[in-house]
Chains A and B, each alone.
Chain A
Amino acid sequence: MTSPMTARRPPAASTTGEAIERAERWFTSRGWRPFPFQRDVWRAYLAGESGLVHAATGTGKTLAVWMAPLIEAMREPRQASGLRVLWITPLRALAADTADALIQPLGDLGFDWTVETRTSDTSAAVRARQGRRLPTALLTTPESLSILLSREDSSQQFRELRVVVVDEWHELMGTKRGVQVELGLARLRQLRPDIRIWGLSATIGNLEDARDALLGTEPRTSRLVRGVEPKRVVVDALIPPVIERFPWAGHLGTQMLPAVVNAIEEGESAIVFTNTRSQTEIWYRALLEARPDWAGLIALHHGSLERKTREWVEEGLRTGRLRCVIATSSLDLGVDFSPVDRVLQIGSPKGVARLLQRAGRSGHRPGALSRVTCVPTNVLELLDVAAARDGIEMGAIESRLAVERPLDLLVQHVVTVALGGGFDADALVREVRTTRAYAELTDAEWAWVMDFVSRGGDALQGYEDYARVVQRDGRWIVASREIARRHRLSIGTIVSDAQITVQYLRGQRLGSVEESFIARLRPGDRFTFAGKPLEFVRVRDLRAWVRRAPNGQGVIPRWMGSRLPLSGELAAAIRRRLDEAHRGCFRGAEMEALRPILEVQARWSRIPALDEVLIERVRTREGHHVFVFPFEGRLVHEGLAALFAYRLSRFTPISFTLAANDYGLELLSADAAPLDEARAQGLFSPRNLFDDLPAALNASEMARRQFREIARIAGLVFPGFPRSGKTARQLQASSGLFFDVLERHDPSNLLLGQARREVLERQLERSRLARTLERLASARAVITTPRRTPPLAFPLLIDRARDRVSSETLADRIRRMQLALERAADA
């Protein structure tokens, strides 16, 4: 990844104008012309400004910012040594591709700069070399940036830094990784006050927020540069040939397979996007069964596959060797796959911006349209497709919600800075407050964070013999090498369950799956992973050893947290489409195809109008079901389900099992819920929301679940160490256990408060939830009592992810329960 070192360097440009001319001549030599927006970026950069560039992918954003520091350097007589450009990218896979793009102009323009990547994939040898000397331009991930900042000589290594570029900022913003970048940038601004920061982003609903989060709260001149207009996007759908009138047939399975095969054949090269990793495995298997002759011509791509496999697949897409790749969001971003001329989306698009991004992966040839074809996996998803098209037409692009001062991440960062040469507490808090995420950090919160890292708890109950960070000569540092080692290993905010590597007995690694999946397998069980039929042999040394199985049947792993909720914009568009259907209007091919199902819904129950909220009460062998349909996306519904269950449970001792999906929620109980009584007392009322919601969260498992991520980021729970001995295993405790112990013995611990706040504000989007309640409270409630489960409710009935809220004593509940003798496979 190093540029040729042989190029002779032309003499320094005498004026900025001359330097810009050289850059423009390079464009001309490649048969291009700089876009006006690219010139805007150069001028702003040379004037010392920072900014955010937003444009569709593949429209020259990379060169817009990369050329700027090159032009700057052309004016300097001597080439500087040391790191000048730091390029942060959300995906490891992108780093290598972007490096290739950055190297291109260097030789032609006579630069002897070095361009290297540094990610968790980087070999130990390269890392050691970088430890001695960093390249001129370094491409890295947010996590690897933190690791660089944890080096003791971190202030030295950034001495020559001129610019930090944050690529795909829209992907990072609104996540804790984005906050990690904000903290890293604040550190770099402190070390090098005159650095410029430039972000690259796709178009999102709140670009000004995105810029402010990137650049921090200290005033500085900055730009928002708008790039080239996106290509026109066409959205269509494969309509199921036969739509059964009865909704339990709504689940299409692989009925759409022939149509998908035809669509793939129409193009030269296709990407088939799915919403989950499991779905890629399922569709890959189905496509190969339908077309055995495609063996070797189709492949699958998702984040849990081995890196070498992923790279091989990406290469195949670029060269056109593969005719189809089935992928998750792992292929949403990144450099162009020019041969791709067909994009399919399996399942609901979930959001307007997401569908646009995926559509943009096709049609890179001049004059081509971007086209995406949606494939419903359930007929109701046709509704999502029609609504997504409405959203694109109206330009209803989603915003990214900012993350408010996550203390777990601040705990991690403080230890990182202590490792990176130590800090003065007053200076560090000033620095941290220059980020958007921590601008409102209170003195009490900061004091708690410092107590937590130095004493383990607040001042009153500091822990004896505990010290992660200690004070020496007025500066806070990490004294223990063991703590330093473990901290560097666990830096990172992407959280997943314990992962376990899947490997053939004869050696080749396939990727990783969650430990909980492997725990359910017994030797001899079959499963499919990385598109290969496998037989599970045993677990040893944190690896699942497998051998090839003869045929493709067997279970497919599921990964947690892979269900994306419907966006607010798409949800609103769906409500408008249903309102039309309520009035008997079925516009477009999708709605026309859905018509028989929606007519069953209207006959058995009702299609809700825009000013109505539909409530269905259904009795089945399982018990009494209450379905409510706010159409606000799964996360809001999870919160509402807990809230409604909590409010209902105050009228009588009762136990609820809860389910939620993008359309609505279900409350299931053994006895009928006191719905009428509760409605009369304000079941849907936004009043007391701020008291009732936290109580509802305590009653459910939500805060305890959210704590998984927090415990890991704050360094309570470690990811499995690759080569850890027995000592590490004696330090294993589940985040749930931590949660319980903290609740009992340190209830004022702010990390517990953060777990609750995150559930309220991020997971449940409290403000959106409050707005939804206001809408529900003013809407006309229509209660139906269908004899069978109507089409809209059916997917909820068969949903598996469930929460619980109860006002009965545990003992009373247990008396009515039975022992699960053999744990079911899906338990």
Chain B
Amino acid sequence: MPDRGLRVDARGEELLLLPERAVFWPRRETLLVADAHFGKAASFRAAGVPVPHGTTADALTRVDALLDRTSARRVVFLGDFLHAKEGRSPSTVRALTEWRARHHAIDMTLVRGNHDRRAGDPPTKIAIDCEDGPLHEEPFAFAHHPRAVPGAYVLAGHLHPAAVMTGPARQRERLACFWFGTEIGVLPAFGDFTGVSEVRPVVGDRVFVIADESVFEVR
């Protein structure tokens, strides 16, 4: 079991919030990853905007490390796996294929997000099951858009949430976070080249920020 991360309870299930911007569900040995946006840099390059190589490779290395540490048997991607049609470049597809081959024993599922609809499903040789979602798995519903699902606790992405922290002497910091409300839990965006947007938590929400290598609950 991984040593890092923060254990939280959601509808009686234990979840592990990981500083690598993912969630591990130990009982089902499942790793949840939202908003990877693979190939985003490649889609910029295709349009003549020079973004360096390395963002996709970095993200895949992080998934490798997580699979290794958690011994997960399954990965569920909560939408926006690929960024854009133009990002399906040979180098991106090659990197994804090689990565998939290294983890051929692991089941992978994608709950499609808004970007996937335009970018298309991952090539079949990458062997990822694709569904529109929400995907029901007692007590959770896996989805891309954070919309309530009756009778389930929704785990979703899409927002790329970040929380604003303030402190003494006028300190202020904006950090990627896990934002867990009473009905819906939103994961931070996994991709490096994705950006964040500030969220406005309300009383009763639980917010977990990622600072350096740790996850903290903040209030």
Contact = CB atoms under 8 A, between A and B. Distances in A.
Contact of B48 (A468, A802, A815): A468
A121 interface: no
Among B41, B168, B175, B214: residue with most chain A CB under 10 A: B168
Interface in A408-467: 452, 456-457, 461, 463-467
Contacts of B43: 730-731
B216 A821 contact: no
B84 A730 contact: yes
A723 interface: no
A689 B47 CA distance: 41
A731 B47 contact: yes
A802 B58 CA distance: 33
Contacts of A463: 45, 50-53
B2 interface: no
Given A670-B168, A814-B165, A819 B218 contact: yes
Given A726-B118, A745-B54, A821-B201, A814 B49 contact: no
Contacts of A817: 165-167, 171, 173, 218
A306 B86 CA distance: 37
Contacts of A738: 51
B170 A822 contact: no
Given A809-B212, A819-B165, A655 B171 contact: yes
Given A465-B89, A726-B118, A730-B83, A818 B166 contact: yes
B52 A457 contact: yes
Contacts of A819: 163-165, 201, 207, 218-219
A47 interface: no
Contacts, number: 162
A691 interface: no
A746 B41 CA distance: 13
B173 A813 contact: yes
Interface in A702-756: 715-716, 726, 730-731, 733-734, 737-738, 740-742, 744-746, 749
Given A733-B44, A810-B211, A657 B49 contact: no
A815 B193 CA distance: 27
A540 interface: no
B150 interface: no
B201 A622 contact: no
B120 to A, nearest CB: 13
B11 interface: no
A466 B55 contact: no
A472 interface: no
Among A482, A624, A731, A819: residue with most chain B CB under 10 A: A819
Contacts of A749: 52
Given A741-B192, A746-B52, A811-B211, A823 B164 contact: yes
A186 B166 CA distance: 51
B40 to A, nearest CB: 8
A803 to B, nearest CB: 11
Interface in B25-49: 40-49
B167 A813 contact: yes
B105 interface: no
A820 B51 contact: no
A820 B50 CA distance: 36
B61 interface: no
A811 B216 contact: yes
Contact of B49 (A461, A726, A731, A818): A731
Interface string A784-817: 0000000000000000001010000111011111
A526 B46 CA distance: 43
A310 B72 CA distance: 64
B1 interface: no
A820 B201 CA distance: 8
Contacts of B201: 819, 821
A668 interface: yes
Contacts of A823: 164, 198, 200
A818 B41 CA distance: 34
Contacts of A19: none
B170 A657 contact: yes
B71 to A, nearest CB: 27
Contact of A821 (B53, B83, B203): B203
Contacts of A726: 118
Nearest to A411: B50
A815 B169 contact: no
B219 A461 contact: no
B176 to A, nearest CB: 12
A814 B175 contact: yes
Given A622-B168, A822-B200, A827-B164, 20 more contacts: A456-B50, A463-B45, A465-B42, A466-B50, A468-B50, A486-B47, A623-B170, A669-B169, A670-B168, A741-B41, A741-B51, A741-B52, A742-B52, A814-B165, A814-B216, A816-B167, A817-B218, A818-B167, A820-B164, A823-B200
Q: Which 4 A-B pairs have the closest CB atoms?
A: A456-B50, A817-B167, A745-B54, A623-B169
11 contacts: A456-B50, A463-B50, A463-B53, A464-B45, A486-B48, A669-B169, A734-B195, A741-B41, A745-B58, A749-B52, A809-B212
Interface of B: 40-55, 58, 83-84, 86, 89-91, 115, 118, 163-173, 175, 192-195, 198, 200-203, 207, 209, 211-212, 214, 216, 218-219
